[in-house]
Structure 1
Amino acid sequence: MAAAEVPIVSSRVLTLPNVLSALRLALVPVFLVLLVRGADAWALLVLLVASLTDYLDGVIARRFNQITRLGQLLDPAADRLYIFAALLGLAWRDLVPWWIVLIVIGRDVFLLGLGIVLANHGYGPLPVNLLGKAATFCLFYALPLIMLGQAFPMLGWWSLPIGWAFGIWGAFLYWWAGIIYAFETARVIRLPRVIAPIRSDTIDG
C-alpha cells in the first residue's frame, strides 16, 4: 500500500486560493454592515458567497498543489472574523445576548495569551484539536440559522431552536477546547529543552 503523499506547503502569495481568501476577508465588513442594518437576507447571501469561496479555495489548493502558508493563516482568520461579525451584528440588534459575544471573544483572547506563553518558551502554536473544530463547526452553523429565522420568520419555528442549540453547545465546547489547550500549554512548557553540548575545541583560550 503506497504511503499517503504529504502536501507541499509553499511560501507563494499570489495564488487563486489566496485571492479567494482575500475576497472572503473583504466581504466581512459588508456582511457586518448588512447585518447591523437588518438586511438579513442580503447578509445571508454574502455569507453564502463566502462559504462557497471557502470551499472552492480548499478544493483548488489541494487539486493544483497551491497550499500556502499565507492560505493556512487566511482561512481560519476569515472563519473567526465571520463568527465575530455575526455575533456583534446580532448582539447590536439585541437578538443574541452580549454574554455569548464575551464568551466567544474572551476565549480567543485567552488562546492569544497561551500563544504568547508558548512563543516565550520557543514553541509555535499548538495544533487544532477535534474539540476545537467541533466548537467552530457549531458556531459557524448556529449563527446563520439564527439569521435565517430573522430573515424569514416562517422558518423561525425550526431554524431558531436549532440555531440556539448549536450556539449554546458551541460556546460550551469552545471553552472546553480552550481549557484543554491551557493544560497542553502547561505540559509543553515543562518539557526539558535539549541543548547541544559545547565542543571543547570551539572554546577560546
Structure 2
Amino acid sequence: MSQRPARVGTPQASDHLTDRVFTLPNLISFVRLLGVPVFLYLLLVARVDVAAIAVLAVGGTTDWVDGWVARRLHQVSRLGELLDPFVDRLYILATLVAFTVREVVPWQFTVALLAREVLLLGSLGMLRRHGYGPPPVHYVGKTATFLLLAAFPVLLLAKAVPATVFSAAGWSLAWWGLALYWVAGVMYVVQAGRLVRAARAR
C-alpha cells in the first residue's frame, strides 16, 4: 500500500480534503445509511423479502457512487472518508446478522467475516496508540466490499426463489468477497505493523 495513515492531530497529506459536512457525496452516504434499518425491518420484522432485496441491492450497488461523485465534484471531505467505509461495513455486518437469523448464510461464514473485523479493530487500536489515524481504503478492500454487497441480494433472492443459478452466482460472489476481504485485512495489519515498528524505532 503506497499511502500511509495520517498522524492524529496533523494535517492530511491531501490538501484537497475539505471539512464540509453538507456535500452531495455525504448526502448519498447518509441516504445509504438510512437504508440499513429499513432493510432490517423489511427482512426481520415485516418479512417482505422482495422489498428487502430491493433495498439491499440499491444500497450495495451504489457503494461506489458517493466516492465517484466526490471526486468528480471535488467534494472529497474528511467526514466522507470516514463515513463511506463505515456505511459499507455497517451494511455488511447488519446483513450478516440478519442473514444468519434467517438462515440465508451459515454461521461459519458470519464468524469468518466477523473475525476479520476483530483483527482490523485490533490493528486500528494499535495505530491509534502510536498517533496514527485509520489507513486509507485500499482497492482490494473496496473490491471485496463490492463483491459482498453484490452477493447478499443474490443469496436472498436464491432463498426466496429457489434456483441453482442464483445460489451458484451468490455464493461465488460471497466466497470471492470473503477471500479478498481477508487479503485486504492482512494488508492493513502488515501496514500497521510497519508503522508501529517505525514509531518505536524513533
Specify the TM-score bucket, using the shorter chain as the normaliser.
0.7 to 0.9
Which whole-Å CA distance do the structure 1 matches of 2:112 and 2:81 have between them?
25
Which whole-Å CA distance do the structure 2 matches of 1:39 and 1:111 have between them?
34
CA distance 1:177–1:15, change in 2 (3 Å): closer
CA distance 1:7–1:143, change in 2 (3 Å): farther
SS in 1 for 2:198: coil
Once the two structures are superposed, the pairs formed by residues 155-194 of structure 1 within 5 Å of their partners are 156-191=163-198
Say whether the 8 Å CA contact 1:40–1:150 is kept in structure 2.
Answer: no
Q: 1:76: which partner in 2?
A: 85
Once the two structures are superposed, the pairs formed by residues 48-127 of structure 1 within 5 Å of their partners are 48-51=57-60, 54-127=63-136
1:13 aligned to which of 21, 45, 57: 21
CA distance 1:63–1:179, change in 2 (3 Å): closer
Compare 58-67 and 114-123 and name the one that shifted more.
Answer: 58-67
Q: 2:143: which partner in 1?
A: 134
Aligned amino acid, residue 143 of structure 1: F
Shift of 1:59: 4.1
Say whether the 8 Å CA contact 1:36–1:90 is kept in structure 2.
Answer: no
Compare 83-92 and 29-38 and name the one that shifted more.
Answer: 29-38
Structure 2 residue 54 is the aligned partner of structure 1 residue 33: no
Shift of 1:53: 5.4
Aligned amino acid, residue 12 of structure 1: R
Unmatched segments (≥5 aa) in structure 2: 1-13
* TM-score normalised by length of structure 2: 0.81
Say whether the 8 Å CA contact 2:154–2:169 is kept in structure 1.
Answer: yes
Shift of 1:47: 2.3
Identity %: 45
CA distance 1:33–1:113, change in 2 (3 Å): same
Aligned amino acid, residue 188 of structure 1: L
Say whether the 8 Å CA contact 1:10–1:69 is kept in structure 2.
Answer: yes
Deviation per CA, 1:95-143, whole angstroms, max 9, x where unpaired? 2111211211221121111011111112222233343233223212211
Shift of 1:52: 6.3
Say whether the 8 Å CA contact 2:147–2:176 is kept in structure 1.
Answer: yes
Which whole-Å CA distance do the structure 1 matches of 2:64 and 2:128 have between them?
31
How many residues of Structure 1 are paired with residues of Structure 2 in the alignment? Answer: 188
Which whole-Å CA distance do the structure 1 matches of 2:97 and 2:40 have between them?
8
Aligned amino acid, residue 135 of structure 1: A
Root-mean-square deviation over aligned CA pairs: 2.4
Q: 1:22: which partner in 2?
A: 30
1:146 aligned to which of 149, 155, 169: 155
Which whole-Å CA distance do the structure 2 matches of 1:120 and 1:41 have between them?
45
